[in-house]
Structure 1
Amino acid sequence: MIQPVDVQFYKENGYLLVKGVFNLEEVEEMRGAVERIIQRAAQSKADWNAAWQGEYLPPEQLKKLVLKGFHDVHYHDASFTRAVVHPNMRAVLTQIIGPNVQLHHSKMLVKPPENGAAFPMHQDYPYFPHANHSMLAASVHLDYADEENGCLRVIPGSHKAGSLPHLGSHYLNHKEYPTKDGTPCIAEAGDVLFFNYLTIHGSDPNRSSRTRRNVLFQYKDASDFPTENVHFDWGMGLMVAGENPHFLKAKPNYTIT
């Protein structure tokens, strides 16, 4: 069981790397699930490149970069459903967020060897702004991640600056916020990096011969409501810990068409 984590470090720096949240057996199970999702997506002709476009790299380099990204992975494989509510995850989340924790969405990100695409520095806030800023990402590492294969980088304390202007609502000006200025979060398989959605983060391309696979779960406090009706996912609002104090807001107000 995960021991008490350094909540004060998270509050001050906007991120926290927690070691050994998942064991190797659980990691292997999720690795297999990632591969099968990619295969099923290709068979269904729903396989696409999620690499970010923009002016941070020359066009000829951008064309060569690949990033496999799919949302709502807990609808594609039960291993991720178990991971979302894993006792170790709940133990950390309730210390950082509080007793009532909701899932917002999930996704997987795979950087293939040698041409895995970068993520320019950005905040997640523009995608799903909330009133109280409890929203955080939990990036589950399924591989050893270092600077060579494009580990996540964060700017400590940047969450305190609030929302910053993004280019096209996607990423920050790369000249003002180059990825090299971020603190590299080197992690082993089974480690989880928790970071606030206002924390500036990004990653370099994967220049190694090793794959970098991450699964990301986005969580928030059940009493932290969106300020804009954006980024709705099926299953958002799933209670991971505690209870929902708001009976009439137990699920998003979406329309099935």
Structure 2
Amino acid sequence: MITKEQADFYKENGYLLVEGVFSTDEIGMMRKAMDGIIERAASTKFDHNAAWQGDFLPSEELKKLVLKGFHDVHYHDAIFTRALSHPNMASILSMLIGPNVQLHHSKMLVKPPENGAAFPMHQDHPYFPHEKHTMMAASVHLDDTDEQNGCLCVIPKSHKDGPVGHVGRHYLNHEQYPISMGTPCPAKAGDVLFFNYLTIHGSGPNRSERTRRNVLFQYRDPEDMPSEETHVNWGQGLMVCGQNPIFKAYKGAH
């Protein structure tokens, strides 16, 4: 699915956009599944706005922004289980991580039209640090994205600098790391942006009349051990490629 040159680009720059990983029909099924999750969540106490808080925007502006986000979407609809282990995904992951690839978690993010919240620049590392830093995100685009509707922006090669100090574990200092510092990664529905969890990234608000929907899968080498027991859940550890060389009894988080 990708060439050695593309794999080398990822290792050098910390990110890689791969076009056409999922078909139009597959994207349509994921959109329908996402709508169902949102509809079911809306009738429960678990529905919430996942917009980031902080001093990067005035408080009155923050109140207007919306970001729908739910973790572990593969627990809610089987289409996402099929997507995260799709043959195209497995082919790419085996070249970027290695022969053995394990799922860490999944989530969905929806930026609604005109008031979809920004993501300040950050690394994913503080949320689930690992020893060997093989952890990566695969952001599946369910809609065409550009700067108008808040596409992801990355700072190339920033993964080489290692962990960077964050503000309260959530985001980097917005004056030192403005979103404008990043390289925009516009994409089409069906494209997937892969990036290392040390790669600094973020996205602007959705100022368009179009929804921006993404599904995010986090993967790792199963021999890459967490340095902190954070972000643990009872379904973690699904093997996507190869085998797990470490045999142990898996049990849920308490």
Structure 2 counterpart of 1:4, which letter? T
Deviation, 1:236, is 1.0
Matching residue of 2:221:
221
Cα separation, 2, equivalents of 1:142 and 1:254: 30
What do residues 3-25 of structure 1 show as CA deviations (whole Å, max 9, x unaligned)? Answer: 43511100110000000000000
Amino acid of the structure 1 residue aligned with 2:75: Y
Corresponding residue of 1:58: 58
Is the 8 Å Cα contact of residues 152 and 184 (structure 1) preserved in structure 2? yes
The code of the aligned residue for 2:87 comes to P
1:4 alignment partner in structure 2: 3
Which amino acid counterpart does residue 87 of structure 1 have in structure 2? P
1-side partners of 2:211 and 2:233: how far apart? 27
Residue 254 of structure 1: how far off its partner (Å): 4.3
Q: Work out the CA distance in 2 between the residues paired with 1:39 and 1:255.
A: 27
Per-residue Cα deviation, 1:72-95 (whole angstroms, up to 9, x for no partner) = 000000100000100000000000
Q: Which residue of 1 aligns with 2:184?
A: 184
| Whole-Å separation in 1 of the counterparts to 2:35 and 2:81 | 16
- Deviation digits for residues 12-46 of structure 1 (CA, Å, limit 9, x no counterpart): 10000000000000000000011110000001232
Tell whether 2:82 aligns with 1:82: yes
For residues 229 and 2 of structure 2, the distance between their equivalents in structure 1, rounded to whole angstroms, comes to 37
Question: 1:237 aligned to 2:237?
Answer: yes
Cα distance in 2 for residues equivalent to 1:95 and 1:27: 23
Distance in 2 between residues matched to 1:56 and 1:255, nearest whole Å? 33
CA contact under 8 A between 1:50 and 1:69: conserved in structure 2?
Answer: yes
- Kept after mapping to 1: 8 A contact 2:234/2:252: no
Structure 2 runs not aligned, ≥5 long: none
Q: How does 1:1-257 map to 2 (within 5 A)?
A: 2-4=1-3, 6-248=6-248, 251=250, 254-256=252-254
Question: Judging changes above 3 Å, is the alpha-carbon distance between structure 1 residues 13 and 245 closer, same or farther for their aligned structure 2 residues?
Answer: same
Tell me how far apart the structure 2 counterparts of residues 17 and 247 of structure 1 sit (CA, whole Å). 34
Counterpart-to-counterpart distance in 1, 2:188 and 2:41: 27
Q: Distance in 1 between matches of 2:2 and 2:160?
A: 27
DSSP-derived class of the 2:64 partner: coil
Once the two structures are superposed, what CA deviation does each residue of 1:192-225 show, in whole Å capped at 9, x if it has no partner? 0000000000000000000000000000001101
Q: Alignment RMSD, CA only? A: 1.0
Letter in 2 for 1:82: R
**Cα distance in structure 2, aligned partners of 1:150 and 1:26:** 23
Runs of 4+ residues over 4 Å off in structure 1: 253-256
TM-score (norm 2): 0.98
